[in-house]
């Protein structure tokens, strides 16, 4: 239901559930954790408007607190000149000094109560009954038992075609009943019972049905959200379950009626008949108050203060032409991931002759992957893509150790007794071992385990074999298309070095239910090793090269592509280089050294935010401590993942190679000269806006409202059914990011910077409505950097406006190494001088 339809009283089950689904959290089960915009449901509105509505309607905080902004102002992170600019725009009719004074010293009311829950709170107020505490515990238990993916040993005994049907089967075939009230029992058993019927009893007035359902479901958005996700994507569970939001609402309403019947007998008036006061309709228009304008003015100034420094840095250090006379020593493709920023910087520092590229880490090859000995397919491409290909791992010797602590035996009575009296005495020593010298254990999710290095992959499809409607491998033509696309989109079409690395990334963490959130987002929360290897195979294929040559991309025969995996947590790299020619073997050995040293430095740079790293005597030392973190049972921050991400820069490396961006930028390589029409750019932005934007906004919202939009502290988390986490045993599921992942994040929207002519950029973003929405409604910012002149253009309200920056004095890198050792906070933009390129 949209705002305009407020007046309608007609209740349409279908429409309301659809609407509800839209607003509920959309996080998939834990194993498929993929970042997305937490407030995706508001994306059709302008950012500020959306935040206001989210706050007034649902009570979601969309900004930092006034106090935090004031502190940022005091610390200089909000530039006073920029703040004044923003005030002039947002408070056109007021005196600057007055507004500034209000912003810095004004007092504003501290409480605000959202609209959600107001209607249903009448049970408590008027009827003196706390339905939530009567219904939730049992409801959550039943849901978690029904959806459980393997924690329980005796699993839900019925699967009679869906949740409701199973509950009816229970009712029919068990002693006693789920319900105490006869009429509720009758309603349950009647398969024709509609929501309308039930809501008539409960609410009474059709006008309030929608609001009631929203109130009811938003009292436990976690469970409702997962039900809604599973309804739409049953495959996200290995052990599939049929459940629907409709069933949940119906069942919960029945439970509520049952409680009311128990308390009041069968005669009680529906809630709508006894409203103390009429609540405001949920989607009634909302209006800006002064405080909300102040908050977003602060916020815009905060973002802009950072953006302008970055842009200043880019303009002052960029190199227009990076044509070099000789062929690079090697080339390396990385994921656009912000965590690769610093790694690339160190590689380039150590080997100024090399060149590095960024592109989404699935490397343009989309497929399902089936590891040897496993029973399921894993998608290895962005989540919204549904590939038609399957790649299988074959011939692995890897086997899996089983671990008693997770086995059902330890939860049994007799076996549990025997185990505790024997194996129990080993447990503390395992713990001590991990405390003193942690190593990889069964509690670890290790990126290198994603694929066995020695196994074969079925990459090429020769005879058109299929499995479950998926083609096994790619044909030569299909390969050529993909290789060409990737190479052109990053601007690598000539001067191929003898070795071209295709480096995917993954992460390792231990004792961490959110492990999937640390892996490569472009590979649906998996490691990118397979993709790296697959693209290399394709690009090395003789037939593929022939086709490429016919399209003008000549890859010399001695050039070899090599797949690799960078573990961003442990800062380790592993190459899949099995058939190198003799000359390349030597080169590769040298390059490997470069990579390894770069990783030492990289871990040193990362370590500045880790308090556990105390010994900073040498990079190798630090690196070892970093590795330990990833396998420590007690380390809730194996790495900081995408925290602090703020930028996405699409352009040639010359634009960014001389500036220190503190691992805050997604970097997508792109050469405007190859793509005058913006065709490849379109592909890049269509992915970058939702993927990088999604990551950015998930961090953003989890940071500003960690309680409602994030998962809170992960320390008390309890794994429910392998699909989600809750606090304790009675709680609702907690989607979003835990506080340990976002605490150092500065919540700013993503600034996408594109190196191309403004008119091309504008046309490109407008090609696709869904992509354009991100820019139009300002969920991400966009600046075009003129590729031939030092000029900037900013997207605003459908146009690219020429942009001027405030003057910023940027630091140079004299003290950078000191800062990298000791500074805990985000570092400013710094101009680099050493990089040769």
Which of 200, 727, 777, 806 binds another protein (CB under 8 A)? It is 727
Nearest CA to 257 out of 200, 211, 206, 209 is that of 200
- The contacts of residue 347 (CB under 8 Å, 6+ apart) are 332, 354, 356, 594, 595, 598
Nearer to another protein (CB atom), residue 137 or residue 552: 137
Site for another protein in 233-292 (CB under 8 A): 238-239
Q: Taking CB under 8 A as the criterion, which residues in 585-624 touch another protein?
A: 611-612
Instruction: Work out which of 62, 313, 651, 731 binds another protein, going by CB under 8 A.
Output: 731
Q: Is residue 152 involved in binding another protein (CB under 8 A)?
A: yes
Residue 530 or 684: the one with the smaller Cβ distance to another protein is: 530
- The nearest distance, CB 66 to another protein, in angstroms, is 8
Interaction between residue 768 and another protein (CB under 8 A)? no
Query: Closest distance between another protein and the C-beta of residue 594, in Å?
Result: 33
Nearer to another protein, 179 or 595 (CB): 179
CB atoms inside a 10 Å sphere around CB 737: 29
Residue 567 φ/ψ, nearest 5 degrees: -90, 110
Closest CA to 61 of 778, 645, 708: 708
Q: How many residues does the chain have?
A: 837
Give the pair of three-digit tokens for residue 346: 């160190």
190 is an interface residue for another protein by CB under 8 A? no
364: alpha, beta or left? (left if phi > 0; alpha if psi -120 to 50) = left
Q: Does 373 bind another protein (CB under 8 A)?
A: yes
C-beta closer to another protein: residue 377 or 795: 377
Q: Is 445 in the site for another protein (CB under 8 A)?
A: yes
Signed CA dihedral, 818, 819, 821, 822: sign only: positive
Those residues with Cβ within 8 angstroms of residue 671's Cβ, 6 or more apart along the chain or in another chain = 490, 491, 652
> Shortest gap between Cβ of 597 and another protein (angstroms)?
28
Is there a contact between 725 and 711 (Cβ–Cβ < 8 Å)? yes
Reported in sequence order, the residue ranges of 220-363 that DSSP labels E, i.e. its strands, are 331-334, 355-358
Report the residue from 27, 90, 144, 331 that binds another protein according to the rule CB under 8 A.
144
The label of the residue with tokens 């269509």 reads: 686
**Other residues' Cβ atoms within 10 Å of the Cβ of residue 800:** 20
* SS3 state of residue 189: helix
Nearer to another protein, 222 or 693 (CB): 222
* Cα–Cα distance measured from residue 812 to residue 819, given in angstroms and rounded to the nearest whole number: 12
Q: How far is the CB of 443 from another protein (least distance, A)?
A: 4
Q: Decide: is 432 part of the binding site for another protein (CB under 8 A).
A: yes
Q: Helix/strand/coil (H, E, C) string of 402-423?
A: CCHHHCHHHHCCHHHHHHHHHH
Residues 657-696 that bind another protein (CB under 8 A): none
Residue 726 Cβ vs another protein, minimum distance, rounded to whole Å: 7
- Three-class SS of 705-734: CCCCCCCECCCCEEEECCCEEEECCCCCEC
Sign of the Cα torsion 11, 17, 22, 25 reads positive
What's the closest the beta carbon of residue 397 comes to another protein, in angstroms?
Answer: 14
Judged by beta carbon, residue 791 or residue 825, the one nearer another protein is: 825
- Residue placing its CB nearer to another protein in the complex, 169 or 197: 169
Asked if 797 and 775 count as a contact pair (C-beta separation under 8 A), the reply is no
Q: Which stretch binds another protein (CB under 8 A): 249-257, 284-292, 297-305, 631-639?
A: 631-639
Minimal distance, residue 832 CB to another protein, in Å: 31
CB 770 to another protein: min, Å: 30
Chosen residue from 390, 643, 687, 720 binding another protein by CB under 8 A: 720
Q: Which is nearer to another protein, 9 or 417 (CB)?
A: 417
Dihedral (CA of 529, 532, 538, 539) sign? negative
Residue of 157, 161, 285, 395 interacting with another protein (CB under 8 A): 157
Q: Please name the residue ranges forming H helices in 37-107.
A: 47-53, 66-74, 80-90, 96-105
Which of these segments, 111-119, 195-203, 271-279, 759-767, binds another protein (CB under 8 A)? Answer: 111-119
112: contact with another protein by CB under 8 A: yes
Beta strands 499-506 and 560-567, pairing class: parallel
Nearer Cβ to another protein (241/318): 241
Nearest to 3 by CA among 56, 62, 61: 56
Q: What x-and-dash track marks residues 18-57 binding another protein by CB under 8 A?
A: ------------xx--------------------------
Instruction: Work out how close the CB of 381 gets to another protein at its nearest, in angstroms, rounded to a whole number.
Output: 19
| 636 contacts another protein (rule: CB under 8 A) | yes
The nearer residue to another protein, 594 or 641, going by C-beta atoms, is 641
* Of 37-45, 297-305, 431-439, 746-754: span binding another protein (CB under 8 A): 431-439
**Region for 491 from its dihedrals, namely left if φ exceeds 0, alpha if ψ lies in -120 to 50, beta otherwise:** left
Distances (CA, A) of 59 to 113, 115, 157, 777: 7, 8, 39, 21
Candidates 269-277, 312-320, 596-604, 634-642 — which segment interacts with another protein by CB under 8 A? 634-642
Query: How far is the C-alpha of 557 from the C-alpha of 545, rounded, in Å?
Result: 9
Query: At its nearest, how many Å lie between another protein and the CB of residue 725?
Result: 8
Q: Which is nearer to another protein, 694 or 712 (CB)?
A: 712
- Please tell me whether residue 164 binds another protein under the rule CB under 8 A: no
Q: Report CA 749 to chain centroid distance, whole Å.
A: 14
Q: Binding to another protein by residue 353, rule CB under 8 A? A: no
Rounded Cα distance, 509 and 612, in Å = 16
Specify the residue, 415 or 551, whose C-beta has the smaller distance to another protein: 415
On whether the CB atoms of residues 802 and 792 are closer than 8 A, the answer is: yes
Mark 697-716 with x for binding to another protein (rule: CB under 8 A) and - for no binding: --------xxxx---xxxxx
Q: Which of 303, 732, 746, 755 binds another protein (CB under 8 A)?
A: 732
Q: Does 142 bind another protein (CB under 8 A)?
A: yes
Total residues at interface with another protein (CB under 8 A): 116
- Per CB under 8 A, 71 contacts another protein: no
582 binds another protein (CB under 8 A): no
Cα separation of 149 and 241, whole Å? 10
Min dist. Cβ of residue 193 to another protein (A): 21
The yes or no reply on residue 401 touching another protein (CB under 8 A) is no
Contact status, residue 662 vs residue 825, Cβ threshold 8 Å: no
Residue 173 CB contacts under 8 Å (≥ 6 apart), including other chains: none
DSSP secondary structure string for all residues of 743-794: TT-----EEEEEES-HHHHHHHHTTSHHHHHHHHTTSEEEEEEPSSSS-EEE
Give yes or no for residue 189 binding another protein (CB under 8 A). no
Tell me, residue by residue from 495 to 524, as one string, x for binding to another protein by CB under 8 A and - for no binding.
---------------xxxx-x---------
Tell which one of 269, 422, 790, 834 touches another protein (CB under 8 A).
Answer: 422
Which residue from 176, 789, 797, 824 is in contact with another protein, where contact means CB under 8 A? 176
Task: Give Cα separations from 472 to 175, 394, 744 (angstroms).
Answer: 51, 13, 44
Among residues 50 and 237, whose Cβ is nearest to another protein? 237
664 contacts 645 by C-beta, under 8 angstroms: yes
- Residue 463 lies near another protein (rule: CB under 8 A): no
Q: Mask of contacts with another protein, 210-229, x by CB under 8 A?
A: ---------xxxx-------
Which range in 78-86, 374-382, 777-785, 803-811 contacts another protein by CB under 8 A?
374-382
Residue 149 DSSP label: -
Among residues 374, 394, 495, 578, the one that binds another protein under rule CB under 8 A = 374
């Amino acid at each position: 239901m949209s705002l305009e339809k407020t007046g309608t009283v007609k209740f349409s089950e279908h429409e309301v559930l659809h609407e509800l689904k839209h607003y509920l959290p959309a996080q998939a089960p834990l194993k498929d954790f993929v970042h997305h915009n937490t407030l995706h449901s508001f994306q059709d509105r302008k950012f500020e408007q959306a935040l206001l509505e989210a706050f007034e309607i649902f009570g979601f905080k969309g900004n930092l607190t006034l106090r935090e902004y004031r502190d940022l102002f005091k610390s200089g992170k909000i530039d006073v000149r920029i703040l004044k600019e923003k005030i002039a725009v947002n408070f056109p009719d007021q005196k600057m000094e007055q507004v500034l004074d209000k912003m810095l010293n004004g007092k504003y009311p501290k409480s605000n109560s959202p609209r959600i829950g107001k209607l249903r709170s009448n049970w408590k107020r008027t009827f003196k009954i706390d339905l939530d505490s009567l219904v939730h515990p049992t409801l959550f238990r039943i849901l978690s038992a029904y959806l459980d993916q393997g924690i329980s040993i005796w699993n839900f005994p019925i699967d009679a075609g869906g949740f409701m049907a199973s509950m009816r089967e229970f009712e029919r075939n068990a002693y006693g009943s789920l319900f105490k009230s006869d009429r509720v029992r009758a309603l349950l058993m009647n398969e024709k019972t509609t929501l309308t019927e039930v809501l008539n009893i409960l609410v009474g007035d059709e006008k309030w049905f929608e609001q009631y359902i929203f109130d009811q479901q938003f009292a436990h958005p976690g469970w409702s959200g997962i039900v809604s996700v599973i309804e739409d994507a049953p495959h996200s569970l290995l052990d599939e379950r049929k459940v629907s939001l409709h069933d949940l609402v119906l069942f919960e309403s029945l439970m509520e009626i049952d409680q009311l019947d128990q308390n009041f007998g069968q005669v009680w008036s529906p809630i709508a008949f006894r409203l103390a006061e009429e609540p405001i309709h949920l989607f009634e228009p909302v209006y800006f108050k002064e405080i909300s304008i102040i908050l977003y003015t602060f916020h815009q100034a905060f973002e802009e203060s950072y953006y302008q420094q970055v842009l200043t840095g880019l303009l002052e250090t960029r190199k227009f032409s990076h044509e070099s006379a000789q062929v690079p020593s090697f080339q390396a493709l990385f994921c656009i991931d912000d965590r690769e920023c610093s790694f690339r910087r160190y590689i380039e520092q150590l080997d100024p002759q090399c060149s590095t590229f960024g592109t989404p880490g699935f490397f343009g090859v989309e497929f399902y992957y089936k590891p040897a000995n496993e029973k399921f397919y894993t998608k290895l491409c962005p989540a919204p893509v549904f590939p038609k290909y399957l790649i299988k791992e074959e011939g692995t010797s890897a086997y899996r150790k089983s671990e008693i602590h997770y086995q059902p035996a330890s939860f049994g009575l007799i076996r549990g007794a025997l185990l505790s009296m024997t194996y129990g005495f080993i447990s503390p020593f395992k713990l001590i071992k991990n405390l003193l010298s942690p190593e990889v254990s069964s509690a670890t999710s290790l990126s290198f385990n994603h694929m066995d290095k020695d196994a074969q992959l079925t990459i090429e499809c020769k005879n058109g074999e299929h499995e479950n409607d998926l083609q096994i491998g790619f044909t030569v033509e299909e390969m050529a298309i993909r290789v060409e696309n990737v190479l052109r989109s990053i601007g690598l079409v000539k001067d191929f070095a003898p070795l071209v690395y295709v480096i995917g990334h993954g992460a390792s963490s231990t004792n961490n239910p959110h492990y999937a959130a640390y892996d490569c987002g472009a590979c649906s929360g998996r490691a990118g090793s397979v993709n790296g290897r697959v693209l290399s195979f394709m690009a090395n294929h003789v037939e593929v090269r022939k086709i490429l040559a016919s399209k003008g991309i000549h890859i010399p025969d001695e050039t070899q592509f090599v797949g690799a995996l960078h573990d961003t947590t442990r800062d380790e790299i592993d190459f899949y280089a099995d058939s190198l020619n003799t000359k390349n073997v030597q080169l590769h050995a040298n390059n490997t050294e470069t990579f390894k040293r770069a990783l030492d430095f990289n871990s040193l740079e990362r370590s500045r935010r880790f308090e556990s790293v105390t010994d900073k005597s040498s990079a190798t030392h630090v690196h070892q401590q970093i590795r330990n973190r990833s396998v420590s049972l007690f380390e809730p921050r194996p790495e900081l993942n995408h925290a602090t991400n703020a930028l996405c820069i699409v352009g040639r490396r010359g634009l960014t190679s001389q500036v220190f961006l503190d691992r805050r930028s997604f970097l997508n390589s792109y050469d405007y000269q190859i793509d005058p029409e913006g065709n490849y750019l379109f592909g890049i932005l269509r992915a970058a806006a939702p993927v990088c934007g999604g990551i950015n906004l998930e961090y953003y919202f989890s940071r500003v409202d960690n309680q409602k939009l994030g998962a809170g502290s992960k320390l008390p988390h309890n794994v429910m059914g392998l699909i989600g986490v809750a606090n304790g045993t009675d709680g609702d599921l907690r989607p979003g990011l835990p506080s340990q992942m976002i605490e150092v994040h500065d919540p700013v929207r993503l600034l996408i910077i594109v190196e191309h002519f403004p008119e091309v950029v504008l046309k490109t973003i407008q090609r696709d409505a869904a992509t354009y929405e991100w820019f139009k409604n300002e969920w991400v910012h966009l600046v075009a950097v003129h590729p031939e002149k030092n000029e900037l253009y900013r997207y605003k309200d459908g146009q690219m406006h020429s942009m001027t920056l405030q003057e910023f004095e940027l630091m140079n890198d004299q003290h950078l190494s000191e800062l990298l050792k000791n500074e805990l906070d985000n570092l400013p933009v710094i101009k680099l001088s050493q990089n040769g390129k």
